[in-house]
Structure 1
Amino acid sequence: MKKIKICATIPNLDGIKSWGKIHQEFFETIRNPDVEITIADLPKAKIKSVSNAYDSTNLGFLHTELAIDAEKKGFDGVAMGCLDEPGVDAAKEILSIPVVGECEAAMHFASLVGRKFSFLIPGSITGSKRGGDGAYFIEDLARKYGLIQKLSSIRSVSAATLDYAKQKANLKNEMLLQAQKAIDEDGADSIIGYGSLDIITFLQRNLKVPVIEPVRSTVTFVESLIKLRLTHSKRTFPKP
């Protein structure tokens, strides 16, 4: 049987250097001898993390080009990283192989295991982010995917994106506190987490609801589409 080849992207400068080890740890937990996962980043990018619309727009074209290159190299599908999903729709238009964005994968898995979900993400504040501090990215994507009614809240711990890559001290406990508030105060019955395997495992052990991890969710979604011989509809995503 031919081995399935998936390209998993980290759409920023030095993505592999910052996040590669963390992503490899995630992939080890879902290792399948029939699937080969290759991590790729954007060496031509000028941004090391995405935190606003300017960053996302800046990276979108490069991210799409990376996906195009993956198809040319013979990959069977592309798991496009970053919850803000820069360049994902464009890649779906151009490519014929399955393309899945990180936010859509996480939200759809969350909707399978519960009725309401909350996100835990980086931010400039600690607490609820609905309506501000960059939360509109996820809110807009939830609307696009028809899941806005299931989005209970978006909560954050005041930390930079790269603090999670560096596994900054005490992030686990701060994340747990916000996750519990999402459950108790916002009505979430599942949590979409963020950060390292250590953080996700800690949340899963200490919460009584499912905790979804976006990186593995995206790769697993792509693998499923490949095995089912499905890809995105060209009626929805016509080739340019």
Structure 2
Amino acid sequence: MEHNSDRKAFEACIVEIVQCLAGLCDTEIGIHTDLNQIASLSDQEESQILGYEVAPTPQHFQFDCDLVPIEAAYLKHKEYDHYVARVGVRIHLPSQIENILRAQFSSSLMDQVDYALTGHSDLEFEMVYDGLLVCFLTTGFDNFTVDGMTDTMLRHSYAQIVQDLDPVMPWLKFARFLSQQHYNREQMENIQKRLPSILDNALQNKGIADAHVFTLCELSGSFDPALRLFKKRYGDLFADISG
């Protein structure tokens, strides 16, 4: 039971990381289907995914995912122009986060297995045009289940990974908050450009100040304290915004 609870905490952490990064990068995943086939689907029938694309790809850090074949994959009509799909995914994260996972990726049962964060997610898609279905990951990626290989390689360290990721989580949530404000494309590009150094700083300087500030954010229900800290530390980014 302890393993299951630790795994679920890890999976929830990955979901939040993906949502935050997707919000910052405005990431969407599109799947290509046979328009004629899905137009004739009943509620119980399934269709085939012919291809996929993930966009946009950030320029200043790694973040995307690949669709991988799984036996339980499906694509079904839900209602109107909405469809649900279970897809296998391999998730690529910024190096600061991925290094934490790589450091724990090992098993006494298997040698020389290449690192990969793989599993499946149940996503909801909306038909855009000509058989292209789109899911916006910042809201649509709300679940993730590791596959057997990832579980084998990480099961001994789920709790440790969640603990090691703890310093970066408030900053990722803050980045998602910033992505929801009315900033222009150049400002968002600047945040993306600075994100690696922000994550590095959070991991290398686990000072009480940041923890205290984000505790204030939780208590106040507002990111204003973090915004003031952010402006003080990275003032050149948002010299013209209030907060």
**What is the TM-score normalised by the length of structure 2?**
0.24
* Rg larger in structure: 2
